[in-house]
Amino acid sequence: MNPTWSRAIWSPPARALGRADWIAWGIVATAVAAVGIPVHSAVHGLWVPFALILGIAQGGSIVLAALSPWLGALVHVVALFGIALGSAPSLAPWPLSVISMIALSALLVLLGLHAHWRLQVVTWVAAMGGAALLAGVITLQRDDTDAGNDLIVGASITALAALTGAIVGLLLRQVRTAQHETELERARVAWAAERGRIAREMHDVVAHGMSVVHMRATSARYRIEGLDERAAAEFDGIAEQARDALREMRGLLGVLRDEDGVLTAPQPDLDALPSLIEATRAAGTTIDATLDPVEPAPPAPVQLALYRVAQESLSNAVRHARGADVTVTLRRTGDEILLRVANGPGAAALPPSESGGHGLRGMRERLTSVSGSLAHGPDENGGYVVEARVPHAAPYREEQA
């Protein structure tokens, strides 16, 4: 079978049926089969084995349409033709029995509620067109049928059922769409409120604390008498780092406050790594850095991710391995960029992975956003190693990056 036709026949309904829907349509299908089998055999002269098979097919096609609308409609139309062909034309109503009209109406309502109106039209045209063609051929051969009136009644009833199902289905879909949009809007409002709360907390707690650090470090040379140049330079370095942190904090606060949530402030890249290393050295950490040029320059999200990994790794080394020497390596290996930060054993209380922080998780998430990977753990010398690998031209999800 052609794959396109196979997908069309087995295509699921537009909306999955709930438990109540299954119960309701199951009752309808059972009633159609239970009433249709004896009526078609006793009243319309259909051979009993055929009445049994076609009656089950006619009723079962309604439930089948709930699983696969196209296949259910196809089985139903075939069963309808089979009943008309096997029934006696002289035993009115023919070619559409009352049970066939009811069953077809139920199928068309189901298709309108859970599938698409186009399938309703195709099913109705196929059923009515086929019945009319069959009635025309039989009427030419014999004159004891009243097929014309039957077709008019059957076409009217089933068309009304199809129209009702289509209208109700359209209204239900509009209601569900409105409910979905309302839920999305509520989620957006809740998320905006949460972003605002986070922004307030960051401003009131973190930004305030950093502002105090910056102010104290900046005014230290004027407040403390007899401060030598070396100590004053140390305070100036602290003030500069606090100022940089405040600038990035203001950018993040703008992202949280803004509905679009787009960070437009300049972000650090690989060219900022030497400054980061120098600032860490100024804090008293010995760092041996080997930073090879990465050509051509990778995308900005890749550079930002590697910078943040280096920043967090150096911060962990300073906090957890005080006095230890640190080695930073950046180089391109084939199609990958490798960043390695390793520290020797120092006065560390705990390695980063056991300290209860979120640094390693944040590094892993950043690298995942640019299709990278993170490896970390103690080395054979008692130190700790963090190794990040990122494809040079990494595909990335911009909303995460």
Per-residue pLDDT of the chain (401 residues; tens, 9 = 90+): 454 444 544 466 656 678 888 999 999 999 999 999 999 999 988 999 999 999 999 999 999 998 889 999 999 999 999 999 998 888 878 899 999 999 999 999 999 988 888 899 999 999 999 999 998 888 877 766 678 888 999 999 999 999 999 999 889 889 888 998 999 899 888 887 887 777 777 776 677 677 777 777 887 877 788 788 888 888 888 888 788 777 777 777 777 777 655 555 567 888 888 988 887 887 778 889 999 988 888 888 888 889 889 988 888 887 777 778 899 999 998 889 999 999 887 644 344 444 445 678 888 888 888 889 999 888 887 788 999 999 987 554 444 44
pLDDT of residue 8: 46
Q: What CATH number has the domain spanning 268-401?
A: 3.30.565.10
Q: Which of 376, 297, 391 is nearest to 338 (CA)?
A: 391
- Report cis status (omega within 30 of 0) of the bond before 296: yes
Residue 351: half-sphere exposure toward Cβ, Cα within 13 Å = 15
pTM: 0.55
Extents of the domains making up the chain: 3-184, 268-401
pLDDT of residue 58: 95
Q: 335 is written with which tokens?
A: 């199609």
Sequential DSSP letters for 84-148: HHHS-TTSSS-SS-HHHHHHHHHHHHHHHHHS-HHHHHHHHHHHHHHHHHHHHHHHHH-S---HH
Listing from the earlier edge strand, what are the strands of the sheet with 384-391? Answer: 287-291, 326-333, 336-343, 384-391, 373-378
pLDDT of residue 217: 80
Instruction: Compute the residue count for the chain.
Output: 401
- Report cis status (omega within 30 of 0) of the bond before 13: no
Return d(Cα 294, Cα 392) in angstroms, integer.
Answer: 9
Q: 56 is written with which tokens?
A: 């089950």
Q: Please, are residues 313 and 256 in contact by the beta-carbon 8 Å criterion?
A: no
pLDDT of residue 162: 93
Return d(Cα 99, Cα 42) in angstroms, integer.
Answer: 13
Q: 198 is written with which tokens?
A: 């986070």
Q: What is the DSSP letter of 295?
A: S
Return d(Cα 77, Cα 75) in angstroms, integer.
Answer: 6
